[in-house]
Structure 1
Amino acid sequence: MRPQSFLLSLVFTVFLPVAAASELKVLTSIAPIQLIASEILADVTKPDVLLPAGASPHQYSLRPSDVRKVKQADLIFWVGPGLERFLEKTLRLTDARVVQLLESDSEHAHVHESQHQDASDNLLASSQQHKEQHEDHHHGDSDPHIWLDPLHALEIAEVIRDAAVNAAPEQQQILDKNYAEFAEALLQQDKRIMTELAPLSQRGFVVFHDAYSGFVEHYNLLQLDAVTVDPSRKAGAKHIIELREAVIQSKAVCVFSEPQFNAAVLKTITSGTSIRTAELDPLGQKIEPGKGAYLAFLADFAEAFKACLQS
């Protein structure tokens, strides 16, 4: 059985709070972290995001305007070099407090130091890896898409609250209230989604991007395979034939793609079969930040699975 809670290592160092809450500039690396931050920081500040809509954290290159955002921020949240390698060097250029949410692999385990304090705290340590719910799950040992597991999202929210309280202690009452409301709403929604997806736990599916282990294992879903598709390259005829054969052999009822994948490739792979297709957006880049933002993202994500897997 999958563990129901995760240990969180909170290693805050003492540092001076910013002058005023209204001046607190919070920057997040990607949209999902911004969505969670916007839930916790409501009525305190509006977190900004680096990665623009439609971009991939695996392939992004920072623009000069992005570098300026990094240098001007007071508080920065990122997952870590396992996901946003593009950001690693630039974070050394800022005096902001940098909060890394996922513990790095040993070769990247250094801690970024600002001029004022150890600015990068590995606050969301790599959790004990989820036990596989089905024999055919083949995920890496450290899936950096941590926000797709709602319990990890709750831990991220706690980290954001605590870091914001350290930066703007006069706003603690609001931050605590926001976190409590978010936690209650998220746990209730989690129960609803768990109930809705439970009947679909044996309906297998294939993905084009092996990024969903947190969500899949939390809700006990059956991922049969993750076929290799590079959205930045045009798939050749031989590769498409191989993909089609792999999908058919898997006996999946659904194939999930993402916005950056060519719809024509997906159509070719599933043409003439009864396999359904659907699109997943693990970055939630169409969701507007604010109260209820992450909840809306999680609901939409779950609905995509439900609609495609149902008979």
Structure 2
Amino acid sequence: MLHKKKGRFFAFSAFSLAAAMSLPAHANIVASIKPVGFIAAAIAEGVTPVDVLLPDGASEHDYALRPSDAKRLKNADLVVWVGPDMEAFMSKSAAELPAKKNLEIVDIQGVSALLISGDDEDEHHEQNKSEDQDSSHHHHDHGQYNMHVWMSPEIARKTAVAIHGKLLELMPQDKAKLDANLQQFETELADTDKRIGAQLAPVRNQGYYVFHDAYTYFEKHYGLSPTGHFTVNPEIQPGAQRLHQIRTQLVEQKAVCVFAEPQFRPAVIDAVARGTQVRKGTLDPLGTDISLSKDSYMKFLLQLSSQYETCLKGA
């Protein structure tokens, strides 16, 4: 009798072990860029680490995938990225991944309704949002929509929910921790959102120029008043006519601040602002100096809001 029980116990244990071995004990998560990694790290906190593909100091606009990067993507249990119109450098490698390992933020349910036209200054783009995107638009700056979606708190929340769902499939044994992480992320995001709204309220009507058109989601969410941008594509310097237009508006004091970026510090900003009263600031759209942690996305939003506030208030 005891022998039979031992046999049944052994068979059950072997079955349980085989079932457990079919799921990764620790999912290997690779995020394309740091802000996407910030969101993933919040949900994966205490469960599994998150790796970021794009090195600090590099730009998602012109990065070239290395063989070691392609290997990291191939070996990942889950890859989280915006989509081919943003991270063109990883489109080919991501296309080879099975659907269960590939999470594109632009494909998450409800995100499409929040996308903003890539050329928001032209009315006809707003009217054509529902039309199919031209298949020749491989670079996100030349496409129909602005793809800097990690700047949107709403899209960040939807991304967190989607990552939670993917990790539940990979590691159902960690459901309690994953559920707690998602709940904490949503609570802290709501609190941070209110804090930033109050912080930026006094400077909402101050005009300013950003180096490139990366901040539209953040600006619209918090009601800021950008005068314009130097360029849509940061790989291309603005032309003489554009610079003259910006210079004229700065002289006429239609903007109080111009923002550069850590990844792009073009001399044209200094040249255009020279001799005016305009202040110079820096906006970091990638959170370069922020380490991945459970609250790194909140730190990212708060850093961005402080960068706006400091320059716009003249503090």
Partner residue in 2 for 1:269:
272
Amino acid at match of 1:225: G
Q: Is the aligned partner of 1:149 residue 2:188? A: no
Given the alignment, which residue of 101, 104, 107 partners 2:105? Answer: 101
C-alpha distance after superposition, 1:123-180 (max 9, x if no partner): 453124569xx98999985221111111211111111111111111111110110111
Higher normalized helix content (fraction of residues):
2
* Length-normalised TM-score, structure 1: 0.80
Q: Which runs of 4+ in 1 moved over 4 A?
A: 128-131, 134-141, 229-243
CA contact (8 A) 2:231 2:238 kept: no
CA contact (8 A) 2:160 2:182 kept: yes
The residue matched to 1:53 in structure 2 has which SS?
coil
Matched ranges for 1:188-227 at <5 A: 188-227=191-230
C-alpha distance 249-69 of structure 1, shift in aligned 2 (>3 A): farther
Given the alignment, which residue of 273, 289, 293 partners 2:292? Answer: 289
Partner residue in 2 for 1:125:
111
CA contact (8 A) 2:116 2:145 kept: no
Deviation at 1:231, TM superposition (A): 5.0
C-alpha distance 247-227 of structure 1, shift in aligned 2 (>3 A): farther
Partner residue in 1 for 2:14:
none
CA contact (8 A) 1:149 1:214 kept: yes
CA–CA separation in structure 1 for the residues paired with 2:116 and 2:63: 29
CA contact (8 A) 2:116 2:146 kept: no
Structure 1 stretch 214-223 or stretch 140-149: which is displaced more?
Answer: 140-149
CA contact (8 A) 1:209 1:229 kept: yes
Amino acid at match of 1:210: D
CA–CA separation in structure 1 for the residues paired with 2:293 and 2:224: 29
Deviation at 1:31, TM superposition (A): 0.7
Unaligned runs of 5+ in 1: 1-15, 104-121
The residue matched to 2:59 in structure 1 has which SS?
coil
Q: How large is the RMSD of aligned CA atoms in angstroms? A: 2.9
* Length-normalised TM-score, structure 2: 0.79
Deviation at 1:98, TM superposition (A): 0.3
The residue matched to 1:208 in structure 2 has which SS?
strand
CA contact (8 A) 1:81 1:87 kept: yes
Structure 1 stretch 213-222 or stretch 244-253: which is displaced more?
Answer: 244-253
- Percent identity, aligned pairs only? 37
Partner residue in 2 for 1:82:
85
Amino acid at match of 2:222: Y
Partner residue in 1 for 2:190:
187
CA contact (8 A) 1:57 1:84 kept: yes
Given the alignment, which residue of 57, 62, 65 partners 1:62? Answer: 65
C-alpha distance 47-123 of structure 1, shift in aligned 2 (>3 A): farther
Structure 1 stretch 256-265 or stretch 26-35: which is displaced more?
Answer: 256-265
Query: Which protein has the larger Cα radius of gyration, Structure 1 or Structure 2?
Result: 2
C-alpha distance after superposition, 1:252-284 (max 9, x if no partner): 111111112235332221111111111111111
Partner residue in 2 for 1:166:
169
CA contact (8 A) 2:115 2:146 kept: no
CA contact (8 A) 1:136 1:224 kept: no
CA–CA separation in structure 1 for the residues paired with 2:239 and 2:145: 30
Partner residue in 2 for 1:256:
259
C-alpha distance 17-309 of structure 1, shift in aligned 2 (>3 A): farther
Amino acid at match of 2:69: D
C-alpha distance 192-157 of structure 1, shift in aligned 2 (>3 A): same
CA–CA separation in structure 2 for the residues paired with 1:193 and 1:166: 34
